[in-house]
Amino acid sequence: MAAPMEVAVCTDSSAQLWSCIVWELHSGANLLTYRGGQAGPHGLALLNGEYLLAAQLGKNYISAWELQRKDQLQQKIMCPGPVTCLTTSPNGLYLLAGIAESIYLWEVSTGNLLVILSRHYQDISCLQFTGDSSHFLSGGKDCLVLVWSLCSVLQMDSSRTPAPRHVWSRHTLPITDLHCGFGGPLARVATASLDQTVKPGQREKSFQPEQDSGKVFKGHRNQVTCLSVSTDSSVLLSGSHDETVRLWDIQSKQCIRTVTLKGPVTNAFIMLAPVSMLSSDFRPSLPLPHFNKHLLGAEHGDEQHRGGLTLRLGLHQQGSEPSYLERAERLHKVMCSTMEKNVLGGQDQLRIRITELEDEVQNLRKINRDLFDFSTRMITRPAK
């Protein structure tokens, strides 16, 4: 079986020849190009390995292409306002978009707008899911990074304001990028800012070029906007406003390839090419639905007109989400209670059974006393 192919996906702000280009990482051969519009920074995402999504720069819609059908006219996902960033969940079920200072969450299978989160004070600049799709992070020009639990957001009572699980205010200038590693909720998170620092996770450590000169890759002539690492951690990809995408050998810090574009690079990342990108016969499992611009049930005032049913679980939970230990203890109690009910029955049945046994004991005592009296009479009766 052939090894998976790594590809680089890039966009620039000019979009003169194409909107997005895909090229093989090691040979540099062009594989695919997509046309139609200009993708903004942090505005490119892969949906379920079947669609390529691009938030159009300064426009209120998202372009969508089927991965293999490069010459098709892109589909348009209309949004309530210009999209500043977007991302999709790794499981392909949800789409997140930053519009001004709000986060919009859609369900991909139905196109329903599930929730609008407004906890940032300025425009949102970047969004990313954790690898297991259980949480997502948002960074904004208000210098804040917020961590959200997807489960809590979806279960939130409409009368309550959704709250992030964590709020990080470790930077002094707007957030420019963030990265979430492997490990789901336990993953390390690195944030970058205009304050010229990168701060990884909760550790009290930041990276500044003037302090760590031995770790600097030099070659770009303008600000660097994109970074990505190959799966074997041997190659670093960087995109810059100097209109170039460069590949670096991480061990030697040498530039091994330079690709020149027609404008400042807005998106550039390395990924494993999905089967749908390399197979000419592949078609998406489901077509993209119409994505609603209004919250589920808000247009008609009755969710029955929406053609679906939304289950809001856990609305009784008014406090914080229980920990895994609390959930385990609760599950143990339920299991023990179920076993007791199976053995002894319910409380009412238990009381009835006790009453029956007490009556039976009284009856046996009466029979025993009668037998004792009868035996006594027979023994003490004088002989004839």
Apex CA 383: angle with CA 382 and CA 384, to 5°? 120
pLDDT of res. 62: 94
Model pLDDT for residues 70-107, shown as the tens digit of each residue: 666 678 999 999 999 999 999 999 999 999 999 999 99
Question: Which residues are paired to 207 by β-bridges?
Answer: 198
Residue 156 confidence class, pLDDT cut points 50, 70, 90: low
For the entire predicted model, the pTM comes to 0.74
CATH class of 6-278: mainly beta
Query: How far is the C-alpha of 83 from the C-alpha of 370, rounded, in Å?
Result: 94
Q: What is the pLDDT of residue 70?
A: 60
Instruction: Find how far residue 145's CA is from the centre of its chain.
Output: 15
Q: What is the model's pLDDT at position 384?
A: 61
Mean pLDDT, the chain, rounded, equals 83
Cβ(64)–Cβ(290) under 8 Å? no
pLDDT at 297: 66
Phi, psi of 271, deg, nearest 5: -150, 160
Note the pLDDT tens digit of each residue in 99-148.
999 999 999 999 999 999 999 999 999 999 999 999 999 999 999 999 99
φ/ψ (deg, to 5) at 29: -75, 135
* 14 neighbors 38 (Cβ within 8 angstroms): yes
What six digits make up the tokens of 166? 């964590």
Residue type, 50: E
Tokens of 339: 């076993």
Residue 308 scores a pLDDT above 90: no
Share of the chain above pLDDT 70, in %: 82
**pLDDT at position 338:** 66
- Please give the single-letter amino acid code of residue 127: L
Reported as a pLDDT band with limits 50, 70 and 90, residue 17 is confident
- Residue 9 pLDDT greater than 80, yes or no: yes
Asked whether 253 and 234 are in contact (CB, 8 A), the reply is: no
| Per-residue pLDDT at 325 exceeds 70 | no
